[in-house]
Structure 1
Amino acid sequence: MEKTILLVEDDFLNRRFTKKILSENGYAVSEAKNSKEALEILQKESITLAILDINLGENEQDGISLGLKIKEKYQIPFIYLTAYENQEIIGKAVSTSPYSYLTKPFKNSDLIASMEIAIRQSAYFPKQKHFINVKEGEYSVKLDEEKINYIESDGNYLLLYTDDKIYKSRSTIKKILSEISESTFVQTHRAYIINKNKIEKFSNRNIIIKGNLIPVSENYLDNVKQFIR
């Protein structure tokens, strides 16, 4: 299976140099020059590992903030590349639990070794479960989002389909999108969100999950294609 690396580096020459190393070693590379572009890629693509430069131009520690977001929301391994040797900045970076920290200039072999170690180590650690609170009658239930096959909007309510039952919760598509993992769920239609890990078949018009046909509208098609490729 091809490994896709997210490379976040604001300096064009450094980004091109690092991308060349990765490509020559058989990795697919998605590039971003700032945190905003990186988060857009993470939302759309399946990333194996992220390489983050700590200094992303406008904010000298923006890479650390991005690392924290990746740790909390996307749960993929990441490593830092930096020219910093300041102990305070190093301490802040280490607090986000990167899998490695390389100081520029680095050896090509050190970068590849750090990446492979990070990818292999991350496979041994179970991903943290994400729960969302849904109402079930008068009770509030903590629902493991991995159990959700897809979500359908029904007026002022959402229907959350699992293998066992359908949960009905008073909420909106916009609200629940802010609560569930962007690396697992994608909106396919103004009224539907699907769990990409539950897809059985898909076309440009529909996705099949557990024998159910979920529509894919033209407005969301490009995003869906990038997300499940």
Structure 2
Amino acid sequence: MNIILQCEVQYTQILKRYFNTYFQNITYIQYNNHLVNAIFIKQIRSIQDIKEMETLSFYHLDFIFLIENGEYMFELLEYNPLTFVRLSHIEKDIIHLIEILQYKERGLGTILNFKSGYQTIRINSQRIEYIESYGHYVFIHTESATFKVREKLSQILRKLKPLGFIQIHKSYIINKAYIQKKTSTYVYMNSHTCLPIGQKYKSQLK
């Protein structure tokens, strides 16, 4: 696996420590004008960093962006990143990143594509806690962010049902792995979100 790191020294050291622990076949390569297939990890600190992406987008690269919280996230979605690493939650998000890279390395198809306007968002299915339908939109709630997409809930259920997801209400699909507890009328998720159970969907939770 080829990795290009373009970030501050302190973050480079943290990333390398994790990568060298979890992966055996890693080659760190330098950024140049003749890029091969690689994973490009870039720290975004300003609009200028985003402008530099216009050139990089022509290469066969998978992007991962280091950002301050959610800053510039919307603008960066255009480049279909594998994920974002928030500097304020760097250790937690790197663990998420490692899982994505492990799936990618093994060729497992758990990274799903969702349409958001004219863009495509790629999300690891295991990071999705629940999906909510509201009006003409669907909101995908993950551990670290919420994404608004314009797809039918039924279409999303077809993608997710084989991966351990169930529908509990006309407006909600949940990841069974995130259930904390349940009653006859509500499901409590690990994030402490309380979701209603529709009468016709109660059999899904038995």
TM range (shorter): 0.3 to 0.5
* TM-score normalised by the chain length of structure 2: 0.45
Q: Which has the higher contact order (CA 8 A, sep 6+)?
A: 1
- Larger Rg, first or second structure (1 or 2): 1
Q: Which has the higher strand share?
A: 2
